[in-house]
């Protein structure tokens, strides 16, 4: 998609909002980042953080954007913002509910000045409701949405803290989609703009809907959570790990043939827990007999969905 004729004003900071506008910038949009004069986006200060994942946040989600420092509590700075907004197609903000109203940069104010403006508010819990003013970060949104519960490796195990802030990326992705959808609606409709209220928690709830359909079952007891040996992760001879995704019967048949385990053909998704454990033990013993790259090549030739577990750095190198 070519957004080279689209201008976006970015009133967000840290990760969720900047990720949204980074996606738009990657599609060619002219993104102007509005920052505070006293140090700008707090993510800039992370550059000196000893943790690499924090140090790289600003650079990762602010490439190709322009930036201007404006103290929006100042009338002259606010007028300068209005001048920028006059030529803007979209605005994304990530303040707590009510802040943009106090600053005079809310949708009602800006849409009265800029015809056809698409405006997206991206917050943890949305603009209204009992949790709208509740503070939070990715981890707490994931907890509230049911996502953390889905990380428990066993019914009686504690949730596992994800290394990737999936809520921030989920919210950012849907915010970018909302802006593009709003622009499309404007072009296909009567030219009027739109306002989108987007909650990061709701974005994660959307991601977890399949788990809700399973009712009270623990993640490890669901089809995609590790219940069946055909859709699981195994350690290989070299201490690395291999992901197997032979959900369909045809893939299971190919897996059994490629690993010389034809005796498992009738146990693809066995009802018996005991039988499933027998299959899991057999496959674990099989995959422990060769390095991960050997298995990856062999299963690729057999057209079995399988992949070595790689680090994020290795994936980027590939």
Residues 180-195 pLDDT 10s: 999 999 999 999 999 9
Q: Look at the alpha carbons of 310, 314, 316, 318 in this order and tell me if their dihedral is positive or negative.
A: negative
Examine the domain organization and report whether 18 and 164 are in the same domain. Answer: yes
pLDDT at residue 152 in the model: 86
Question: Does one domain contain both 150 and 197?
Answer: yes
- 38 is known as an active-site residue: no
Regarding whether 168 and 32 lie in a shared domain, the answer is yes
Residue 85: which residues within 8 A CB-CB, separation 6 or more?
Answer: 9, 91, 105, 110, 113, 114, 117
Domain presence at residue 217:
no
Domain span at 126: 7-209
pLDDT in tens, 256-269: 999 999 999 999 99
Confidence of residue 291 (pLDDT cuts 50, 70, 90): very high
DSSP string, 230-275: TEEEEE-TTS-EEEEE--SHHHHHHHHHHTT-GGGGGGTT-S-HHH
Are 11 and 141 within one domain? Answer: yes
For residue 250 the two structure tokens come to: 């045809």
Question: Are residues 135 and 284 part of one domain?
Answer: no
Looking at the structure, do residues 53 and 124 belong to the same domain, yes or no?
yes
Q: Are 199 and 123 in contact (CB under 8 A)?
A: yes
Q: Is residue 2 part of a domain?
A: no
Residue 50 has, within 13 A of its CA and on its CB side, a CA count of 0
What is the CB neighbour count within 10 angstroms for residue 303? 12
Residue 298 has pLDDT above 70, yes or no: yes
Residue 91 lies in a domain: yes
> Do 6 and 29 form a contact (C-beta atoms < 8 A)?
yes
Contact 120, 175 (CB under 8 A): yes
Catalytic-role residue among 41, 89, 106, 168: 168
- Flag whether pLDDT at 53 surpasses 70: no
Same structural domain, 12 and 118: yes
**Assigned domain for 218 exists:** no
The domain tally of the chain equals 2
* pLDDT reported for residue 215: 64
Both 39 and 138 in one domain: the answer is yes
Q: Does any domain span residue 170? A: yes
The CATH number of whichever domain residue 264 belongs to comes to 3.30.1540.10
Q: Is residue 70 within 8 Å of residue 77, measured between CB atoms?
A: yes
In Å, the largest CA–CA distance within the chain is 77
Domain end (from 209, 236, 254): 209
The enclosing domain of 153 has a CATH number of 3.40.50.10540
Give the torsion sign (CA, 166, 8, 12, 140).
negative
> Does any domain span residue 222?
no
Question: Is 174 part of a structural domain of the chain?
Answer: yes
Residue 221 domain-assigned? no
pTM reported for the whole predicted model: 0.92
| Location of structure tokens 């998609």 | 1
* Residue 300 to residue 103: CA distance in whole angstroms: 57
Average pLDDT over residues 168-177: 98
Residues 204 and 286 occupy one common structural domain: no
Q: Residues 147, 32: one domain?
A: yes
pLDDT band at 48 (very low <50, low <70, confident <90, very high): confident
Please tell me whether residues 202 and 248 are part of one structural domain: no
pLDDT in the model for residue 70 = 98
Tell me: do 203 and 239 sit in the same domain: no
Query: Domain end: 148, 174, 209, which one?
Result: 209
- Where do runs of H (alpha helix) occur along the chain? 16-26, 52-55, 57-60, 75-86, 99-103, 107-113, 138-145, 166-188, 200-207, 209-213, 249-258, 273-287, 292-301, 312-317
- Interatomic CA distance for residues 177 and 43, integer angstroms: 23
Residues of the chain above pLDDT 70, percent: 97
Q: Which of these three, 175, 209, 243, is where a domain ends?
A: 209
């Amino acid at each position: 998609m070519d957004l080279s004729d689209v201008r976006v004003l970015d009133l967000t900071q840290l990760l969720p909002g900047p990720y949204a506008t980074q996606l738009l910038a990657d599609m060619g949009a002219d993104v102007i980042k509005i920052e505070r004069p006293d140090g700008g986006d707090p993510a800039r200060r992370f550059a000196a953080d000893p943790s690499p994942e924090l140090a790289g946040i600003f650079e990762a989600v602010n490439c190709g954007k322009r930036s201007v420092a404006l103290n929006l509590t100042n009338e002259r700075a606010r007028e300068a913002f209005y001048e920028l907004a006059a030529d803007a197609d979209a605005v994304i903000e990530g303040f707590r509910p009510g802040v943009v109203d106090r600053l005079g940069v809310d949708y009602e104010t800006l849409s009265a000045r800029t015809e056809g403006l698409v405006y997206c508010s991206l917050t943890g819990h949305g603009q209204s409701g009992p949790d709208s003013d509740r503070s939070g970060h990715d981890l707490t949104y994931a907890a509230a949405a049911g996502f953390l519960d889905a990380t428990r490796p066993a019914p009686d195990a504690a949730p596992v803290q994800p290394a990737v802030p999936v809520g921030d990326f989920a919210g950012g992705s849907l915010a970018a989609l909302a802006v593009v959808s709003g622009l499309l609606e404007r072009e296909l409709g009567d030219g009027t703009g739109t306002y989108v209220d987007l909650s990061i928690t709701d974005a994660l709830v959307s991601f977890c809907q399949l788990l809700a359909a399973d009712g009270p079952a623990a993640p490890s007891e669901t089809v995609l959570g590790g219940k069946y040996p055909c859709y699981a992760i195994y350690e290989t001879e070299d201490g690395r790990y291999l992901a197997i995704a032979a959900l369909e019967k045809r893939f299971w048949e190919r897996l059994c043939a490629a690993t010389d385990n034809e005796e498992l053909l009738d146990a693809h998704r066995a009802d018996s827990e005991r039988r499933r454990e027998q299959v899991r033990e057999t496959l674990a013993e099989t995959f422990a007999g060769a390095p991960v790259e050997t298995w990856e090549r062999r299963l690729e030739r057999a057209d079995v969905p399988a992949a070595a577990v790689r680090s994020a750095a290795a994936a980027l190198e590939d």
